[in-house]
Amino acid sequence: MALPDFTLSAGPVTVSERTRAALARPILYHYDPEFRAGFARTQSKVAEIFRTKNDIILMQGEAIVGLEGALRSLITPGMHVLNLVQGVFGKGTGYWIKDFGAELHEIEVAYDDAVSPAQVEEYLDAHPEIEMVCLVASETPSGTVTDVAAIGPMCRDRGILTYIDTVSGVLGMPWETDEWGLDLCVAGAQKCLGGPAGVAMISVSARAWEKIYANPAAPRDSYLSLLDWKEKWLGEGRFPYTPSVTDMYGLESALDQALEEGVDAVVARHRSAAEVTRAGARAMGLELWAVRDEIASACVTSIRVPEGLDNAVVRDHARAVYGVMLSHGQGAGNLVRLSHMGPTAGGLHSIVGLAALGRTFADLGAPVDIGSGLDAALDVLSAQNA
Amino acid sequence: MALPDFTLSAGPVTVSERTRAALARPILYHYDPEFRAGFARTQSKVAEIFRTKNDIILMQGEAIVGLEGALRSLITPGMHVLNLVQGVFGKGTGYWIKDFGAELHEIEVAYDDAVSPAQVEEYLDAHPEIEMVCLVASETPSGTVTDVAAIGPMCRDRGILTYIDTVSGVLGMPWETDEWGLDLCVAGAQKCLGGPAGVAMISVSARAWEKIYANPAAPRDSYLSLLDWKEKWLGEGRFPYTPSVTDMYGLESALDQALEEGVDAVVARHRSAAEVTRAGARAMGLELWAVRDEIASACVTSIRVPEGLDNAVVRDHARAVYGVMLSHGQGAGNLVRLSHMGPTAGGLHSIVGLAALGRTFADLGAPVDIGSGLDAALDVLSAQNA
Amino acid sequence: MALPDFTLSAGPVTVSERTRAALARPILYHYDPEFRAGFARTQSKVAEIFRTKNDIILMQGEAIVGLEGALRSLITPGMHVLNLVQGVFGKGTGYWIKDFGAELHEIEVAYDDAVSPAQVEEYLDAHPEIEMVCLVASETPSGTVTDVAAIGPMCRDRGILTYIDTVSGVLGMPWETDEWGLDLCVAGAQKCLGGPAGVAMISVSARAWEKIYANPAAPRDSYLSLLDWKEKWLGEGRFPYTPSVTDMYGLESALDQALEEGVDAVVARHRSAAEVTRAGARAMGLELWAVRDEIASACVTSIRVPEGLDNAVVRDHARAVYGVMLSHGQGAGNLVRLSHMGPTAGGLHSIVGLAALGRTFADLGAPVDIGSGLDAALDVLSAQNA
Amino acid sequence: MALPDFTLSAGPVTVSERTRAALARPILYHYDPEFRAGFARTQSKVAEIFRTKNDIILMQGEAIVGLEGALRSLITPGMHVLNLVQGVFGKGTGYWIKDFGAELHEIEVAYDDAVSPAQVEEYLDAHPEIEMVCLVASETPSGTVTDVAAIGPMCRDRGILTYIDTVSGVLGMPWETDEWGLDLCVAGAQKCLGGPAGVAMISVSARAWEKIYANPAAPRDSYLSLLDWKEKWLGEGRFPYTPSVTDMYGLESALDQALEEGVDAVVARHRSAAEVTRAGARAMGLELWAVRDEIASACVTSIRVPEGLDNAVVRDHARAVYGVMLSHGQGAGNLVRLSHMGPTAGGLHSIVGLAALGRTFADLGAPVDIGSGLDAALDVLSAQNA
């Protein structure tokens, strides 16, 4: 099968030419002075997009290596943890919390909705034993977001630790690690940043380090260990294991591009692309997945697959006939996602996605008004640039 | 500081132009049909260089993620394990074995020597309770090898599992997973293969899977889990987490190049480069680290740093003045390594390394006969090509 | 100004990832045996897309270096030459013919029309003194084509030489150099082939060589000399001057891709893209430049700019606001070109161009029915793939 | 045949990773605002390395297109021209001068020697009818240089035009276009600059333009025309023909690198590499081509091939057995060239070249003391960095 003309996936995303050129750079020895300096610079740049003065740990692997390593580091047996569930990743966090030996509390809503700050406040009022709150800032599989700006400070003010899965959150929504008092945040490079898939970016507050140091169950001498990175790399300048030189090149390049554009501008670009996409989908007669726009993600627009169609068939058709690779819901429901993430957030990329999806639905027999949809999307895009 | 002209490190190694072009390819969604097909092809190609029909698992991360995941999968509390120690990586394996709850047995020799098959045989005869033997095929930090061709079949014939760290072994020495009956082997892509640093390549025999399935302590729902890969990816075609698309491109390309050259030819190329390098070092008046050539690695030549010199100063000088990045011994001793690994195994690369190291020693006051050394090395190279 | 998201220009065109990877290959010495072999291979591959057994000359420079060199080689003072003019490039050929000292005969039609075979036949019947016919197969600036399949054999049968500017013709329309008896054809790499801009591809028949050898005015010892290439490179294996190694890499790669896809398939892909684009433009209410579809080029669709709008303003707006770079008419008239050439011929690229142009017209106040246009274009695309 | 490990040719030279990444950039339309801006920036950067305020013309093609175009522009029939000949390129210039209709005067010396300023002065004193002096600053095929710093001002002071072939001169020797009053200089990108082979860089003084405008034979409407570039591009912002977008990317990148390093530093680096190489060759017992070091080029070291050996066999052996591509003398004599040009000027690259050549001579039976040669070369290199 030919390569797709367009990859509009929910991660790994299409990356820029400049990032790809960085990925092709000659591989240095990880103890080459140039590589070591670059690794340190990259940490600082991650801190800038996280807007934090906390330590930054860059673990080699998909973001999930950071999520697992961090959660294992924080959880002590018997500890009471409140987990917010509004999608498949939040649900999975809960399984881990239990596996790792904590007492699990959960607030769960439907996967097209979001847990509200009021629900959290009420629960915390009623359960003073809660020591940590876990949440997924952006549920990529279903395209909804959680109100971290409200819940973060609420936890900080109560002295409750926060563990935040912001894999597709950072740069896809306003993000203020320090202002919001977030203790442990894990982001992925292959989402809104438009970087490679092989690095987990983690910010750890002093309070979180205290907790981790006090935790005898925190991984040490392990691929999952945050402490190894803290002590060996941050402490002594030795890598606990060989980092992926190539991924670090790509990561620094993607960070440079984001910082040159400006963090706020990147966030705004994702929001604008989401507006164009939602307007187009609605005018086509399609139903959005998120129950209201306020909780719709800016990095993916989830669309309910019309009655009678299977999302796998839909995506295969769009890929085979129109050369556009779209993402499915990873178990969140019968939805398909038009992603506008990283370099494909902006410009006519939303039109490409809408055209491929609309025409695919039409080919498969679903009623859809493609022309009106593309017209409406272009109207919004035009107005944004007026 | 400028980039080095030559990276002759012990991994990550310089990779070929073709591999780098692969690393720059547009990033596909991991569920793109082309990526899925490529992932499966890559597994088959790994099996070819391992010379096995066993399952191949490709975990994202440096090789150590595979070493840890595999060892945790195999070890059950109380199990008796014989660990062979002749270098820092073997030593580390022993710490893990104890940490993971097994009864540790060890045969340890000096780090410039190798454990012999006879020693292993004697130990196994005396300790019938041993269920598994762990060894490091190629101790990269000190440049020595273990006789896997003898020890592997010995274990198989006794029904003892083998866990083999062959991170820099595969392609750097003859390797016959199936013929030698090796149960679990873990290799790194960034060594003799000349690939990127982000993938652990693991072969798992049916016997090893049985053991793992029977082990309640084997990781599941974890970044360290081999079972997740077995059940989700090999079983159902779903990735347990997003693989690094870029690293997989680089890996497949490096495998293609090795298979086109021929596995035996790659092994021979490493051996030839080692001969050239050893001849040159000796004729310069330098002392080789390995106590005898039979146990000297073909992928790195470790050289004792002359009395009074510090290996860090030596390497910094070679890097700063001659533009050549060399590796140190990672704790194995006061040595410096001339690597000839991957694309730098062969041709005049050994001359470059010898010239940089010889002239560095001279600059720092150590007596060394550079001209004779380079002459001797070129003599060997010439004879190899006659 | 940011880079465009999409370049839909009439050449140099967007090239494929694979071609770009080739352009990045390490630069070899031009007398390296590998480069020499590659140069010879590339000539053979050019012959395949030209469908000829004639000599192929690859001159370094934009196609025009080949057009000028070839025309100077063929024209002898006082010779009678019939030049067909239906666009700016044909017009320019006429100026050269006169400058080089020939007696110029011309059949000229409006630049939105095409000279017909019947007109040529009539002229040749009336002017038996004509020794050569010059024509432009595909007038890229205005998007019209000439019927080479009819005119070529007509000339051959009369013993009249043909000089054909097929810069954007080869691969953008059916092309049979030998079957049609074409003597001298010049194509550019940066057009339908999707290669780099630095090579002129020239086929020269035995009859043309005879004429050139007999011509004392034919350039020798000059950058413009075809004879230098014939005698030095084809004859003795010496390059008359250093070729651009990089461009040759890109050219061979682009040829490989075309041959793997199949010459007929590439031609068909361009035709399909043109159908989609024309359907979309018409349904938007736009006026096509070519007076009838039979003479409309398959590689660019020229569209009249609505009354009151300036084509430069139109293109600047599309570039600045929608990130799409389009081409103007290079003096052929107040038109704008939606190109579908090389890798952008096919799939949703036409939709991108139509969306950018349609919305630009709307933004600038011209009446245009964007939705209907995109709908119609997608209908055609869907039907082509049904 | 495998690719060479090292290309130490006299151009096209090995280019840096950064230049190659630039060559791989997406191809823009030549009228894209970004490309136009880049083209203008590149002209300014060329002016910086030429150290001139004169107009810069960038013609697409190997440097020879600029040499021919410029000479045709300057020469009027019957004009008296003094041509300095000390190598094959100077000899060729003389043929052109005659072909283009001028009265040719020549001072010719052996190809291992150089025309001296005193010889020129004497000739000019004796021939007041001379209107232009032509010279080759650096005869790349034989590795000798001409004293432009003395001859240039001498001509300027007498009101005599200068036409300078500095294809491998700029950046390989001190160069002061304006200070020395040089009228027309042509350099190649693929030599000391380390750029691609497809661009001729030309500086034209106001006095030269006057001459050209007054010359009815100066090419117009031709690929060879400097006037087209002056009037269309410099005057109106229109390209006379499509430039090679890719080559321009590579050129700007190479210029950036040279300017960041500093023009004087680049020149010094070439000189240092030449010193290392000459010391090594002499200590090996080889005979240098240039009769004295003062006229030896800093960018290539030409070495006489020992009696009884054929330079083609020598180079083929070095390429096949040691993976190093060297250059021959292009007709200047039985010599072989160790090039240190562009990125390979510096560090251990000279050692690679010397090792390959020395061992090749030994393999072919010539007496050569390789060890002493490499020792001596490393001594010089060490001393340069002390």
Residues of A in contact with B62 (CB under 8 A): 60, 241-244
Q: Checking DSSP bridges between strand A335-339 and strand A327-328, what pairing results, if any? A: antiparallel
Q: Residue C60 in contact with residue D198, Cβ under 8 Å?
A: yes
Q: Where does chain C hold its CATH 3.40.640.10 domain(s)?
A: 17-260
CA–CA gap between residue C196 and residue D153 (Å, rounded): 41
Residues of C in contact with B26 (CB under 8 A): 17
Interchain CB contact of C206 with B (< 8 Å): no
Interchain CB contact of D42 with C (< 8 Å): no
CA–CA gap between residue D86 and residue D68 (Å, rounded): 19
CA–CA gap between residue B110 and residue B85 (Å, rounded): 8
Residue % of chain C over a pLDDT of 70:
100
Q: pLDDT tens digit string along B309-319?
A: 999 999 999 99
The type of residue at C4 is P
**Residue B53: C-alpha distances to residues B45, B168, B178, B234 (Å):** 11, 21, 7, 14
CA–CA gap between residue B224 and residue B73 (Å, rounded): 9
Residues of D in contact with B372 (CB under 8 A): 371
The type of residue at B280 is G
Q: From 1.25.40.10, 3.90.1150.10, 3.60.15.10, 3.30.70.270, which CATH number describes the D6-12+262-384 domain? A: 3.90.1150.10
Q: Checking DSSP bridges between strand B300-304 and strand C324-325, what pairing results, if any? A: unpaired
Contact B244 A197 (CB under 8 A): yes
Which two tokens mark C300?
Answer: 């660019």
Q: What is the pLDDT, as a whole number, of residue A89?
A: 98
Element (H, E) at D303: strand D300-304
Element (H, E) at B328: strand B327-328
Interchain CB contact of B82 with A (< 8 Å): no
**Residue B343: C-alpha distances to residues A164, B19, B274, B327 (Å):** 43, 10, 13, 16
Q: Does the pLDDT value for residue B101 go beyond 80?
A: yes
Backbone dihedral region of B16: left (phi > 0), alpha (psi from -120 to 50 degrees) or beta?
Answer: beta
Confidence label for D329 from pLDDT (cuts 50, 70 and 90):
confident
Beta bridge partners of D6: D324
Over residues C204-229, mean pLDDT: 98
Q: Checking DSSP bridges between strand A138-139 and strand C138-139, what pairing results, if any? A: unpaired
Confidence label for C153 from pLDDT (cuts 50, 70 and 90):
very high
CA–CA gap between residue A140 and residue A341 (Å, rounded): 11
Q: Does the pLDDT value for residue B4 go beyond 90?
A: yes
Q: Residue D197 in contact with residue C242, Cβ under 8 Å?
A: yes
**Cα Rg, chain C, nearest whole Å:** 21
Over residues C157-166, mean pLDDT: 98
Of B152, B145, B151, the residue nearest B180 (C-alpha): B152
Q: Residue A283 in contact with residue A376, Cβ under 8 Å?
A: yes
Residues 148-177 of D with CB under 8 A from C: none
Q: Checking DSSP bridges between strand A161-165 and strand A184-188, what pairing results, if any? A: parallel
- This prediction has a pTM of 0.97
Q: What is the pLDDT, as a whole number, of residue B384?
A: 98
Q: pLDDT tens digit string along D63-108?
A: 999 999 999 999 999 999 999 999 999 999 999 999 999 999 999 9
Element (H, E) at C300: strand C300-304
Q: pLDDT tens digit string along D134-166?
A: 999 999 999 999 999 999 999 999 999 999 999
Of A149, A167, A158, the residue nearest A68 (C-alpha): A167
Which two tokens mark D130?
Answer: 């001379």
DSSP 8-state class, residue B187: E
Confidence label for D330 from pLDDT (cuts 50, 70 and 90):
confident
Residues 2-21 of D with CB under 8 A from A: 17, 21
Q: Does the pLDDT value for residue D332 go beyond 90?
A: no
Total beta-carbon pairs less than 8 A apart between chain C and chain D: 183
Backbone dihedral region of C127: left (phi > 0), alpha (psi from -120 to 50 degrees) or beta?
Answer: beta
Contact D322 B347 (CB under 8 A): yes
Of C362, C361, C284, C354, the residue nearest C324 (C-alpha): C354
Residue from C14, C15, C17 whose CB has the most chain B CBs within 10 Å, to mutate:
C17
CA distance B22 to chain C (A): 9
Interchain CB contact of D30 with C (< 8 Å): yes
Over residues B335-351, mean pLDDT: 97
Q: pLDDT tens digit string along C336-380?
A: 999 999 999 999 999 999 999 999 999 999 999 999 999 999 999
Interchain CB contact of C324 with A (< 8 Å): yes
Q: pLDDT tens digit string along B226-279?
A: 999 999 999 999 999 999 999 999 999 999 999 999 999 999 999 999 999 999
Which two tokens mark C200?
Answer: 């002129």
Fold that domain D17-260 belongs to in CATH: Aspartate Aminotransferase; domain 2 (3.40.640)
Over residues D207-225, mean pLDDT: 98
Q: What is the pLDDT, as a whole number, of residue C340?
A: 98
DSSP 8-state class, residue B366: -
Q: What is the pLDDT, as a whole number, of residue D27?
A: 97
CA–CA gap between residue A256 and residue A279 (Å, rounded): 31
Note the residue count of chain A: 386
CA–CA gap between residue A235 and residue A237 (Å, rounded): 6
Q: Where does chain B hold its CATH 3.90.1150.10 domain(s)?
A: 6-12+262-384
Which two tokens mark C164?
Answer: 């054909």
**Residue C256: C-alpha distances to residues C26, C42, C43, C344 (Å):** 19, 9, 12, 17
Confidence label for B348 from pLDDT (cuts 50, 70 and 90):
very high
CA–CA gap between residue A135 and residue A94 (Å, rounded): 10
Interchain CB contact of B353 with A (< 8 Å): no
Q: Residue C349 in contact with residue C269, Cβ under 8 Å?
A: no
Q: pLDDT tens digit string along C297-332?
A: 999 999 999 999 999 999 999 999 999 999 988 888
Sign of CA dihedral B235, B237, B243, B245: positive
Q: Is omega for the bond preceding A12 within 30 degrees of 0, making it cis? A: yes
Residues of C in contact with A380 (CB under 8 A): none
Which two tokens mark B363?
Answer: 């600059």
Interchain CB contact of C236 with B (< 8 Å): no
Confidence label for B383 from pLDDT (cuts 50, 70 and 90):
very high
Total beta-carbon pairs less than 8 A apart between chain B and chain C: 10
Burial class of D256 by CB neighbour count within 10 A (0 to 12, 13 to 18, 19+): middle
Q: Residue B62 in contact with residue B85, Cβ under 8 Å?
A: no
Q: What are phi and psi of D115, to 5 degrees?
A: -70, 135
Residue % of chain D over a pLDDT of 70:
100
Contact A247 B198 (CB under 8 A): yes
Q: What is the pLDDT, as a whole number, of residue C332?
A: 86
Interchain CB contact of A76 with B (< 8 Å): no
Residues of B in contact with A37 (CB under 8 A): 1
Helix extents (H) in B206-346 = 206-213, 226-228, 245-261, 263-284, 311-322
Under-50 pLDDT residues of chain A? none
Which two tokens mark B14?
Answer: 């310089």
Angle at D181 between CA D176 and CA D185, to 5 degrees: 70
The type of residue at B19 is T
Q: What is the pLDDT, as a whole number, of residue C329?
A: 87
Q: A245 Cβ partners below 8 Å, 6+ apart?
A: A27, A28, A30, A35, B12, B196, B197
